[in-house]
Structure 1
């Protein structure tokens, strides 16, 4: 039987791998079609898979309050976050710059965790957060500064994406309208599928290309990124503090670089390697608080 510590580690590793897969899937998909087309079919496929599974499990009825709440969380965490990132990059912001902006999320969450959730961030955790963001800066260094002549509102879209994920994270942790992950994730995914379908239809980007590679990419992001990435994100949120969970985002740029190296042969330079090390050190420092709490609890139980 797995211990709590082992479960936390497996959940963290699963989240980092699945979340980082989304950037690779987006690259595969947008090579075949526009970002809104990819997002629409990504969530339609993910919603179909989760709906079949949910019906098969024959879940109990949920209150309308919980359904509406989880729909709202889904619109923020999936709709607002992904729409902001994709449109920002599509309008000229480099992937590295957008990645750096959205990866400010752990610092914003840590700053708000005290007043919103009464979860104080320690000095060591702040040090870990700053080391982590420095690591991300080095990882995406080569891609920074390539967003020439980009309108300021395009950068604001990346900020909007980060704020959407921060807001959904804090709201889900603070208010008692949560549902089991097996119920919450299908609701969030279905509402996101409706959102992106409407946007794609209005913008005449709904028709998928006749391409085998496109559907491989859609299946990739639907299963790994939507179901796996968000599933592990909410799972980690139930297991630990928002600061620790958010800090795991620091590990996604390095892991994405490893994905890109293995799949596309992209080079990993000195700055990237140093950035990776700093990201891991930062997350390790942040995780020590909960490790000490877990050990203290074990000692009391023994």
Structure 2
């Protein structure tokens, strides 16, 4: 089966996608922290997905976007939704519920770019050279410094560790599945399918594992509104577009920057302090991302010549 290649006609707005994705995704952790004061984790996630599905039904029925062309395309969309929406987010929340600290969960799931680098050559036919491996190593070191400086790394719950590792595997699998099997699909259709799958998986878990407590307060509504629009619709659409038009190993490396950017946003919005040790971690992470995201000279020259 042929492997999809980066599209030669990537839209111009895609150049701004990494920065916008980072800001929206990292801000989501701040709003998630706010929302979890008012609802149980899986209940909050199911409520978030229900709102996304309800919101997406409006443009879906209004503009009637094109549907996937065949059964396989439907199945691939559903699988990405199962891995990302149901798998990654549910397992992350279950890890926190089982006693893992946010720092420990973040440290485990931030290893995703390393797994992508290891698996991409076999699954997505991507070559990861030595410079990009050096960048990935710097990213791991930098993210570890930031997480260790800004939060507790308590990981004494074996079940919590298991859930965190499974969350790491889920988001890695979703990224590689989208890279190998993803086909251009209208974003309204793609998101509606994937969040419906997520809702159908998460809602029963919330019912079985939680009392489904929800306190309808302004803080919950603000958190829910941001996570539904900014994270669940815009940020996920940007992530899938970047994966489809680029290399999975490069795109996944952006997750190294999530802990530093989250720390800065929490400092601005919540007045949370940034420990001194976190700053060199941010610099290491930025250097690692530069090495991973940079285009080799030969590749850049060939793209320039091709565009003449």
**Contact conserved, 2:65 with 2:186, CA < 8 A, in 1?**
no
Change (3 A) 1:48 1:5: closer
Among candidates 191, 199, 204, match of residue 198 of structure 1: 204
- Report what 1:173 is aligned to: 179
User: Are 2:213 and 1:213 aligned?
Assistant: no
**Contact conserved, 1:139 with 1:253, CA < 8 A, in 2?**
yes
- Report what 2:232 is aligned to: 226
User: Are 2:67 and 1:58 aligned?
Assistant: no
- In the TM superposition, what is the alpha-carbon distance from 1:68 to its structure 2 partner? 2.7
**Contact conserved, 2:150 with 2:275, CA < 8 A, in 1?**
no
- Report what 1:97 is aligned to: 104
CA–CA distance in 1 between the matches of 2:10 and 2:189? Answer: 23
CA–CA distance in 2 between the matches of 1:191 and 1:299? Answer: 43
CA–CA distance in 2 between the matches of 1:241 and 1:28? Answer: 34
- Report what 1:130 is aligned to: 137
User: Are 2:149 and 1:142 aligned?
Assistant: yes
Residue 237 of structure 2: SS of its match in structure 1?
A: helix
Residue 289 of structure 1: SS of its match in structure 2?
A: coil
- Report what 1:282 is aligned to: 288
**Contact conserved, 1:19 with 1:228, CA < 8 A, in 2?**
no
**Contact conserved, 2:149 with 2:275, CA < 8 A, in 1?**
no
Unaligned stretches of 5+ in structure 2?
A: 1-8
Deviation per CA, 1:142-162: give whole Å up to 9, x if none.
Answer: 3565426x3212111111111
RMSD: 2.1
Among candidates 70, 91, 95, match of residue 88 of structure 1: 95
User: Are 2:49 and 1:35 aligned?
Assistant: no
CA–CA distance in 1 between the matches of 2:20 and 2:298? Answer: 22
CA–CA distance in 2 between the matches of 1:244 and 1:50? Answer: 29
User: Are 2:164 and 1:158 aligned?
Assistant: yes
- In the TM superposition, what is the alpha-carbon distance from 1:89 to its structure 2 partner? 1.5
Change (3 A) 1:271 1:113: same
CA–CA distance in 2 between the matches of 1:191 and 1:297? Answer: 38
User: Are 2:78 and 1:71 aligned?
Assistant: yes
Among candidates 237, 243, 247, match of residue 241 of structure 1: 247
User: Are 2:175 and 1:185 aligned?
Assistant: no
Change (3 A) 1:166 1:211: same
Which stretch shows the higher mean deviation, 245-254 or 50-59? Answer: 50-59
CA–CA distance in 1 between the matches of 2:267 and 2:284? Answer: 19
TM-score by length of 2: 0.90
